[in-house]
Structure 1
Amino acid sequence: MSFLLDPPVLFIIGAVLYFLGNRLGLERLAKMTIGLLVVVIFIIFSIFLYLDIFRCVFPIICSGSSGSEFMFHSDITGIYKQDVPLIVAAFLFALYPLFIYFGYATALVMSKRTQLSNELYSYKDLKNRGKDRQAESKHEVVRYPDVNRGIQNKHQAVTHDIDALGKMGATSEIKSRKLTNLFFILVLTIIMLLFYVMEGYLAISSIYFMLGLASAIIFAVLFATKMRTKDLIVLLITSILMAYLVDHLASNAGMWQYNGPPQLLFPTFSFPLFVIPVIGFSHFLSRVFVYVELSGKRFRNVPFVIVLFAFAAFFYMEGYLALATVPVLAMYAAFALLGLFYNNGQVLEYNLALAIVAAGLGGTMELVGISSGLWSFAFGEALPMFISLAWVLNIGAICGITRIFGINLKDSIL
């Protein structure tokens, strides 16, 4: 991903998106959404390279260059980041959507060339065309399962209708559930804040981390009050155990270290407050993907599989595979299996939303925490590429574990 390599790559992706999308029967809006996601990923990744947040770890083509040097191919062009005004760099990033559009448009124009058919039609065939269409037309009423809305049975259908009508389900039982959930979240927040102060993280936190933590708490409260109480309790317990396992195994392997006591109580009890917003935002983002017709069962495993391969590649290229111990490798292998198990039972729109939100929110939290000095990674980079993708594995494993106990977090938000 560089200013020299990105334009042709995006052009090719645009052309492939057109032909492959047509072959797979994707609607135009779905192809536009995929193109938008690809462009956003390219822009974010390239900006992080430009700012030297990411290390350049690609074999052969990086040749020991920093992220910004790779963006300009300084070893070839002799141009460095300080030589290019910021407005020019911003303009180059703004051109990215055009590259993928030109690739898509070129493929579209090429496919629209006049083609002669070998089939012969008579006047009678053309005259009866309308009658044949009427004879073939069929109408069918489908109640459930409705994969586009995630409705599997009559109970979910009623819940969906009540939610669509708005506030009709605000009974005393629902109010009691919300208060109970609020109590659990407030208790967890108080415990987390106590360890935040006692372990010394407050003293070294930046204003950005404090704002991020406050935002996570607010969204955790909002989404938790919309969840089933049983689902929330299982989610909290699973998340706490997951955080303890990941942080202790990775810290012992030297992959990352916290600038606090070895007990790691603040990271352990803060993790659920970030998991709940991931589940909540994924619930609402999945509705957007339903609207653009990126939905259904057919490609449900694609988002997680792509993340899995990208995680493995960056885990190796960034050097963390060499640091990982057998328990760490076994842990991530188990997370991958649990994530595949969960994703295979869901629909594309939710799996895609979950991957995007987990990587986005998780990566943002990691970047702010590292820049604040709360924790650091083995090779001193501002943000390892693999860690954002690791959040997708972590969330997938949590969802998989809760699914084993009969709880589908996809349906937990009411």
Structure 2
Amino acid sequence: MSFIIDPPLLLLCGLAIYLLGKRLNWSRHAKMVVGLAVVLVFVVFSVLLYADIIDCTFPFFSQLNGSTFMFHSDITHIYKPMVPKILVLFLFLLYPIWILAGYSIPLLREKKKRVSKEVFSYSDVKSKSRNKSNTMCYVKKDSHTYESGVSSSLQEEDEAAASANSSIYSVKRGRDTRKCVQDAVESLGGIGRFVKKNDKVLVKVNICGGVPEKMATFTSIDVADALADLIISAGGKPIFADADMIWVKFWPAARDSGYVDWAKKKGVDLVNLSETEIVHFDFGPKSALGIEKVSRELIEADVIISVPTMKTHLLTGVTLAMKNMYGTFPDIDKAKFHKKGIEETILEVNTAFTPNLVIIDGSVGGEAIGPLSATPVNFQTIIASSNVVTADSIACQLMGYSLPYPHPGKKDGNWDRPDPEVKDFYEWGVELILMFPGWDTLFNMGADFLLYDTARLPVLRYLVPTFLQLLHDFFSANLRGIKSTTGDVTRRVVNVCLIGLVALGCAIGYYQSGYFWKSSLLFELGYILAIAVAALASARMKTIHIVMLLVISSLVSYVVEHTNMNAGLLQEAGSTDVSLFTISGWIVMMVVILQLSDFLAAWLKRLQIFQEMKSWRLLPFLAVLAAFLLFASWEGYLGIWNAKVGSIYAIIACLGLFYSWKHPIEWNASLVVVSVAVGGYMELLGSLAGFWTYHFHQILPVFFALSWAVNSMAVHGLAYILHIDLGDREARHLLPEIQEKAGRKAVPSQKRSDPHSGG
């Protein structure tokens, strides 16, 4: 096992798993278990070699020790001390990617064999001839047809027909799901309005987008069964279909959810669109998709019916009839559609293959953080419409995205659902990740594992929804109320770029000081997380506040660290004076401390711990200042202070007292606690890594951990003197324009009504 030999071996193992799995009919989970077992063997054995715990005993290499063999130092002249541990971690993290690549290569080659070179267009879609009630999608189709040379008179006739046949919808409720489906379709004019004798009816159900163990995530078989009876009664031939995802395969999902057994008993076709003949479809020159692969079944179907589950989605807010059609793409690589824009992709596929009928299954809906970790809602609702937009609109209203549709029910408009701002942030993050070459597969694999596999595993199926909810709430608290005018977006970009420059300074200083070769993995991961939090915090701040925080932090850091080093209180490895890394690191820490203090202060206010202690605002700083001086004395540092150290900390103490006096106790307590926790943690990691040492050679003097609270107060105090109040959350953040206007109006009215204003 070595970093050179392992990748090709893992590729071959992935190929073997694919071939054996196909030959022995292994399930998806069986392949995953075998693959993970192989990766685990490789990783464990290679780690033991890398750590020189075991020696290399392979033929031709028995004269090498473990780490020399791992790097093939006899050939590459690369030795263990020369390679940073974070790079070694990265190489080990690639191991599952290698085996996945070995599995994916033959899989993709096999799928390519089913792809035809034929190219179809809108005029070839048979179901279009039946679809004259969906105005939104039909108009788009008309414009595309017109560009292709169809006469304008035909276009006018189609638009007139669309106008005459205004969309209708039906909402039925009750415990009998089958009856609700039948009544809803009957209210639209009966199944005969949509299905004629000998029609080939493609019914797009949600199978691969759900978790078999959770009813709220996939289309109910009761709904499918009732619809099958209706189609058969009209003389049509129903085909129930869905398509593979990169990890969620159609047949295992259909079997586990009961669709395979149901289809056999019912005598209807159940089709995996990824296994049908694949053709190319021209979505138009102005389309986000261009020419894309689709199943021939979509082209040749006389009628298309979309039957989604009514549930939420963390990336799109909801996943209903329009999103359900996105699942018809046979390509397992769904990540590429996020690159092109998920909303644009959904629009294009519905424009090309507009459902003739929509039945939204709300018998058991899925709320909270869907689609796969959604919480079941016994909603007992079926929505039917001849217009996909109308159907989705009604469902969205019932879920609470606008004024509820007037049907009485305590859950109407009261679903737990993703915050739209968080949804947009997630989608932005996905698009950003997919900008990097080769990350498509990582995204597909990671997303499906996080959302699908963890939703099925015994313990994780309960933990992951909670984790996703906490993550959602975290981002919601950070993103809520951020303005999105052009100026605000520009400021946000500028702020993040400033943090990016600071991060670059950290990286350069880290290398210059020689820390890169000491390579403390725990420290590096902690610092990367800190930079990410700082970037998120900066995106919420006004530029003047972030600039002031950066400038004052760098000034205070240089003065404090320079004074401490000259007095011999501490010493940085590889530097006789304050390094670029130290100054940049201080800046990052101060932004992180500010952000986390916001959360803690808000929490303390809700708890009302200090409700009766408003006048005790100086208490947190006085307490930490007293502890700071006591530990400086007990640990011996007070005895080696010189006049400069004493003067600097005296000034810092005065700034802290002044700042504390001007701010509420909740904020002061939060700033003190977070500063000690965050600053002390990074001091500890840096000390353990040997980046710096203290005068008395302790791993972490408590005095230095407490100094972070004193220093943070000084930074905030200096900014306050310069009329920038970093502790005023509303003044610091980009707040909604309405709230700002309300605030501006409230001030003069308050003054006019105040008898002591002297006005």
Band of TM-score, shorter chain: 0.5 to 0.7
Shift of 1:199: 2.0
Match of 1:379 among 687, 696, 699: 696
Task: Give yes or no for contact 1:402–1:409 (8 Å, CA) kept in 2.
Answer: yes
Following the alignment from structure 2 to structure 1, what is the Cα–Cα distance between the partners of residues 700 and 718? 28
* SS of alignment partner, residue 720 of structure 2: helix
* SS of alignment partner, residue 410 of structure 1: coil
Following the alignment from structure 2 to structure 1, what is the Cα–Cα distance between the partners of residues 479 and 535? 23
Could you report, residue by residue, the CA deviation over 1:106-141 in whole angstroms, capped at 9, with x for unpaired residues?
A: xxxxxxxxxxxxxxxxxxxxxxxxxxxxxxxxxxxx
Match of 2:634 among 317, 321, 326: 317
* SS of alignment partner, residue 699 of structure 2: coil
One-letter amino acid matched to 2:564: A
Percent sequence identity over matched residues?
33
Q: Which residue of structure 1 aligns with residue 546 of structure 2?
A: 232
Task: Give yes or no for contact 1:304–1:355 (8 Å, CA) kept in 2.
Answer: yes
Q: Which residue of structure 2 aligns with residue 284 of structure 1?
A: 599
Q: Does structure 1 residue 242 correspond to structure 2 residue 556? A: yes
The number of equivalent residue pairs is: 252
Structure 2: any 5+ residue segments left out of the alignment? 1-476, 735-759
Match of 2:645 among 320, 325, 328: 328
* SS of alignment partner, residue 616 of structure 2: coil
One-letter amino acid matched to 2:516: L
Q: Which residue of structure 1 aligns with residue 588 of structure 2?
A: 273
One-letter amino acid matched to 1:370: S
Q: Does structure 1 residue 402 correspond to structure 2 residue 719? A: yes
Q: Does structure 1 residue 182 correspond to structure 2 residue 496? A: yes
Runs of 4+ in structure 1 off by over 6 angstroms are none
Could you report, residue by residue, the CA deviation over 1:219-253 in whole angstroms, capped at 9, with x for unpaired residues?
A: 11110111110011111011111111111111111
Shift of 1:295: 4.1
Between stretches 397-406 and 176-185, larger displacement belongs to: 176-185
Residues 32-43 of structure 1 correspond to what in structure 2 (within 5 A)? none
Following the alignment from structure 2 to structure 1, what is the Cα–Cα distance between the partners of residues 625 and 528? 31
* SS of alignment partner, residue 571 of structure 2: strand
Shift of 1:281: 0.5
Match of 1:305 among 617, 622, 632: 622
* SS of alignment partner, residue 376 of structure 1: strand
Which structure carries more strand by proportion?
A: 2
Could you report, residue by residue, the CA deviation over 1:326-365 in whole angstroms, capped at 9, with x for unpaired residues?
A: 1011111111100010011000111111011000001000
Shift of 1:294: 2.8
One-letter amino acid matched to 1:194: I
Following the alignment from structure 1 to structure 2, what is the Cα–Cα distance between the partners of residues 165 and 267? 30
Q: Which residue of structure 2 aligns with residue 393 of structure 1?
A: 710
CA 1:386–1:164 in 2, change beyond 3 Å: closer, same or farther? Answer: closer
Task: Give yes or no for contact 1:338–1:400 (8 Å, CA) kept in 2.
Answer: yes
CA 1:204–1:289 in 2, change beyond 3 Å: closer, same or farther? Answer: same
Following the alignment from structure 2 to structure 1, what is the Cα–Cα distance between the partners of residues 546 and 609? 28
TM-score normalised to structure 1 length: 0.59
Following the alignment from structure 1 to structure 2, what is the Cα–Cα distance between the partners of residues 353 and 370? 25
Could you report, residue by residue, the CA deviation over 1:150-177 in whole angstroms, capped at 9, with x for unpaired residues?
A: xxxxxxxxxxxxx999447322221111
Following the alignment from structure 2 to structure 1, what is the Cα–Cα distance between the partners of residues 607 and 584? 37
Shift of 1:325: 0.9
Match of 2:510 among 196, 199, 204: 196
* SS of alignment partner, residue 257 of structure 1: strand
Higher RCO (CA < 8 A, seq sep 6+): 1
CA 1:168–1:379 in 2, change beyond 3 Å: closer, same or farther? Answer: closer
Q: Does structure 1 residue 366 correspond to structure 2 residue 655? A: no
Shift of 1:192: 2.0
CA 1:200–1:300 in 2, change beyond 3 Å: closer, same or farther? Answer: same
CA 1:232–1:164 in 2, change beyond 3 Å: closer, same or farther? Answer: closer
Residues 66-145 of structure 1 correspond to what in structure 2 (within 5 A)? none
Could you report, residue by residue, the CA deviation over 1:10-62 in whole angstroms, capped at 9, with x for unpaired residues?
A: xxxxxxxxxxxxxxxxxxxxxxxxxxxxxxxxxxxxxxxxxxxxxxxxxxxxx
* SS of alignment partner, residue 346 of structure 1: coil
Q: Does structure 1 residue 294 correspond to structure 2 residue 613? A: no
CA 1:381–1:298 in 2, change beyond 3 Å: closer, same or farther? Answer: same
Q: Which residue of structure 2 aligns with residue 108 of structure 1?
A: none
Task: Give yes or no for contact 2:513–2:573 (8 Å, CA) kept in 1.
Answer: no
Following the alignment from structure 1 to structure 2, what is the Cα–Cα distance between the partners of residues 168 and 181? 14
Q: Does structure 1 residue 260 correspond to structure 2 residue 556? A: no
CA 1:164–1:190 in 2, change beyond 3 Å: closer, same or farther? Answer: closer
Residues 15-34 of structure 1 correspond to what in structure 2 (within 5 A)? none
Q: Does structure 1 residue 350 correspond to structure 2 residue 667? A: yes
CA 1:171–1:382 in 2, change beyond 3 Å: closer, same or farther? Answer: same
Task: Give yes or no for contact 1:253–1:323 (8 Å, CA) kept in 2.
Answer: yes
Shift of 1:290: 0.4
Following the alignment from structure 2 to structure 1, what is the Cα–Cα distance between the partners of residues 539 and 524? 23
Following the alignment from structure 1 to structure 2, what is the Cα–Cα distance between the partners of residues 246 and 339? 15
Task: Give yes or no for contact 1:294–1:348 (8 Å, CA) kept in 2.
Answer: no
Task: Give yes or no for contact 2:534–2:588 (8 Å, CA) kept in 1.
Answer: yes
Between stretches 363-372 and 379-388, larger displacement belongs to: 379-388
One-letter amino acid matched to 1:208: L
Following the alignment from structure 2 to structure 1, what is the Cα–Cα distance between the partners of residues 609 and 712? 21
Task: Give yes or no for contact 1:280–1:413 (8 Å, CA) kept in 2.
Answer: no
Following the alignment from structure 1 to structure 2, what is the Cα–Cα distance between the partners of residues 413 and 318? 41
One-letter amino acid matched to 2:642: T
Following the alignment from structure 1 to structure 2, what is the Cα–Cα distance between the partners of residues 403 and 256? 30
Which structure carries more helix by proportion?
A: 1
Task: Give yes or no for contact 1:220–1:273 (8 Å, CA) kept in 2.
Answer: yes
Cα RMSD of the aligned pairs, angstroms, is: 1.6
Following the alignment from structure 2 to structure 1, what is the Cα–Cα distance between the partners of residues 723 and 609? 27
One-letter amino acid matched to 2:690: G
One-letter amino acid matched to 1:268: I
Between stretches 201-210 and 387-396, larger displacement belongs to: 201-210
The structure number with the bigger radius of gyration is 2
CA 1:167–1:184 in 2, change beyond 3 Å: closer, same or farther? Answer: same
Following the alignment from structure 2 to structure 1, what is the Cα–Cα distance between the partners of residues 706 and 531? 23
Task: Give yes or no for contact 2:530–2:589 (8 Å, CA) kept in 1.
Answer: yes
Shift of 1:218: 0.7
Following the alignment from structure 2 to structure 1, what is the Cα–Cα distance between the partners of residues 575 and 667? 38
TM-score normalised to structure 2 length: 0.32
Following the alignment from structure 1 to structure 2, what is the Cα–Cα distance between the partners of residues 244 and 348? 29
Could you report, residue by residue, the CA deviation over 1:48-89 in whole angstroms, capped at 9, with x for unpaired residues?
A: xxxxxxxxxxxxxxxxxxxxxxxxxxxxxxxxxxxxxxxxxx
Following the alignment from structure 2 to structure 1, what is the Cα–Cα distance between the partners of residues 506 and 587? 10
* SS of alignment partner, residue 615 of structure 2: coil
Task: Give yes or no for contact 1:223–1:277 (8 Å, CA) kept in 2.
Answer: yes
Following the alignment from structure 2 to structure 1, what is the Cα–Cα distance between the partners of residues 529 and 498? 18
Residues 35-54 of structure 1 correspond to what in structure 2 (within 5 A)? none
Following the alignment from structure 1 to structure 2, what is the Cα–Cα distance between the partners of residues 311 and 188? 29
CA 1:202–1:292 in 2, change beyond 3 Å: closer, same or farther? Answer: same
